Amino acid sequence: MGQIAAPSAAPAAPRRTRWALVVAAVAGTGHGLFSLYWAVGGTWLVETLGEDIVETFADQLWLLLPVGVLKVGFAVLPLLLAESGRPISRVLRIVLWLGAVTLVVWGGLNTVVAHLVLAGVIQPTGGYDHQGMIGHAWIWDPLFLLWGVALVMGLRHPQPLRITPDRQ
């Protein structure tokens, strides 16, 4: 009687894939933790969001709770999946790619526009909130961009997200 071969595990992804997913997890978790911090009434760096955003959501801070949880969840999900060694479904991979592209486009465009406003190239009608624009130019939108670029780099590996070899 012949032996049944165990299914072969997917080859481990390159080390750069793991690092990219770690960077994506850190950037996204940082973004999410600030949302959670502000949701519970924290005020540090809130002025970097811009007066309009702060005023719009002043009475609806609770909305930042699910936003923060989703950010943190989607930030760590690709890394957790990679570390688990299990392949991911095509649908989830598509969702992750859509999220990565959205983060790159949103973060990239808003970073560039904010810098152009600060440089005086773009002059918004009615002026702008200087602290908020600095926050978008130097903190929040570049962090979205970093998260998205790192996620793209981590998702590029053609094998299912799998980083660590099986332990025996």
Predicted pLDDT of residue 17 = 86
Residue 154 near residue 82, CB atoms below 8 Å = yes
* Separation of alpha carbons 148 and 97, rounded Å: 9
* Separation of alpha carbons 79 and 84, rounded Å: 9
| pLDDT values of the chain reduced to their tens digit, one per residue, 168 residues | 555 544 455 555 577 888 999 999 999 999 999 999 999 999 999 999 988 888 888 889 899 999 999 999 999 999 998 888 777 788 888 999 999 999 999 999 999 999 999 999 999 999 999 999 999 999 999 999 999 999 999 998 755 455 445 444
- Domain segments of the chain as ranges: 15-155
C-alpha 52: how far from its chain's center?
23
Predicted pLDDT of residue 53 = 85
Residue 78 near residue 154, CB atoms below 8 Å = yes
